[in-house]
Amino acid sequence: MAITVIQARCPQNHHCPAMAVCPKDALSQVGYRAPVVDTEKCIDCGKCVKVCPMGALITA
């Protein structure tokens, strides 16, 4: 299982709220672009998936 970012679902017009809940600091964002998952850091806890209101972060 890995976290996947569906860019098309991310409106890319705000600071990604999922970054604040990630316990491993595995999410990064340049400006308001869709976040990027550092798969080396990510532990697949799924917290970000629950926080994203657009469903742009999924487990795949």
Q: Which residues bind ligand SF4 (CB under 6 A)?
A: 3, 21-24, 26-27, 37, 42-48
Nearest distance from residue 43's CB to ligand SF4, in Å?
5
In terms of CB distance, is 24 or 33 closer to ligand SF4?
24
Cα–Cα distance between 36 and 31 in angstroms, integer? 12
Nearest distance from residue 13's CB to ligand SF4, in Å?
21
**What are the respective helix, strand and coil percentages of the chain, to the nearest 5?**
20, 15, 65
Nearest distance from residue 22's CB to ligand SF4, in Å?
3
* Four-point Cα dihedral 25, 35, 32, 14, nearest 10: -80
